[in-house]
Amino acid sequence: MNKKILTAKATLAALACTLCVNTYAQQYPEPEKMTPGMSEYWTPQPKVVTPGDLCTNSAPSDAIVLFDGKDLSAWESVKGGPAQWTVANGAFTVNKPTGDIQTKQKFESFQLHIEWQVPENITGKSQGRGNSGVFLQGMYEIQILDCYNNETYVNGQTGSVYKQTPPLANAMRKPGEWNVYDIIYTAPVFKEDGTYLYNPRVTVIHNGVVLQNNTAILGTTEYIGFPKVVKHGAGPIILQDHGDPSEPISFRNVWIRPL
Ligand code: MG
């Protein structure tokens, strides 16, 4: 190729490039210089919620109160009929052997606050000492147990995802004192075939101490055997009547905020 042709080709290429740049510049002008306000958005504003009194753990203004110290009207027996646990002195107590109780209302994801007390005169050992539990969507048990100087298997301790994930700490108060659970739960999303697209997840805070940190729940919390994945929708909060012979535990100040 002679020199003239090469020069002509180079000139045409340069012209094409210039046109290309000009066209690009016309379609996509130089963006405006960023200001702080450009990366801020102002609507929608989060709803205003009046927080409860942290000294008394009272419910925030938008919570559904599941027990206000007076009656179990928000609950029913899992066996059917009214909840038959005992209400007295602003708390309710497991009434063995009437069985588990559950909320009448069903929930998806939520923030749950529940306080519980192991009686001062508690007896028994390991899993037979103040055993109860909070079942999320009626499927997944967060263990309640008297773990104050009471050794048991770690994935069955207070705050475990029962038989799955041990708690990160033991934050038990001694029998006779009130314990506080704050549980943040994200409901699972299922695939068509009934397996998890997204596992359920749970954060458990016990007396201000994180026991579960956005833990993936693997399936049902079986006493015998491994977790099962069972497709489900919205479900109740179930409180366990464990059936061991130790003295029954009590609950108070229960509220929930669907998320
Ligand atoms: Mg239990």
pLDDT band at 105 (very low <50, low <70, confident <90, very high): very high
CA of 89 to the centre of ligand 1 (A): 24
Q: What are the pLDDT digits (tens) for 167-193? A: 999 999 999 999 999 999 999 999 999
Q: What are the pLDDT digits (tens) for 54-96? A: 778 899 999 999 999 999 999 999 999 999 999 999 999 999 9
CA of 46 to the centre of ligand 1 (A): 37
CA of 12 to the centre of ligand 1 (A): 81
Q: What is the pLDDT of residue 31?
A: 82
Q: Does 25 or 239 have the greater pLDDT score?
A: 239
Which residues does 4 contact at the CB level (< 8 Å), separation at least 6? none
Which helix (H) or strand (E) element contains residue 92?
A: strand 91-93
CA of 97 to the centre of ligand 1 (A): 15
pLDDT band at 44 (very low <50, low <70, confident <90, very high): confident
CA of 240 to the centre of ligand 1 (A): 6
Is the pLDDT assigned to residue 6 strictly greater than 90?
A: no
Q: What is the pLDDT of residue 56?
A: 80
Q: What is the pLDDT of residue 45?
A: 81
CA of 123 to the centre of ligand 1 (A): 16
Q: How far apart are CA 210 and CA 212, in angstroms?
A: 6
How much is the average pLDDT of 124-143?
97
Q: What is the pLDDT of residue 42?
A: 85
Is the pLDDT assigned to residue 138 strictly greater than 90?
A: yes
Q: What is the mean pLDDT of the chain?
A: 91
State which amino acid sits at residue 134: V
User: Minimum mean pLDDT among 19-28, 99-108, 206-215, 224-233: which range?
Assistant: 19-28
| Six-digit token string for 179 | 């314990």
CA of 200 to the centre of ligand 1 (A): 19
Q: What is the pLDDT of residue 7?
A: 56
Q: What are the pLDDT digits (tens) for 204-226? A: 999 999 999 999 999 999 999 99
Q: What is the pLDDT of residue 57?
A: 83
Q: Please tell me whether residue 245 adopts helix, strand or coil conformation.
A: coil
Which helix (H) or strand (E) element contains residue 212?
A: strand 209-216
pTM of the model: 0.85
Is the pLDDT assigned to residue 51 strictly greater than 90?
A: no
Question: Which residues partner with 162 through β-bridges?
Answer: none
CA of 135 to the centre of ligand 1 (A): 9
Question: Order of strands across the sheet with 75-77?
Answer: 75-77, 101-103, 238-239, 132-136, 140-144
Q: How far is residue 186 CA from its own chain's centroid?
A: 5
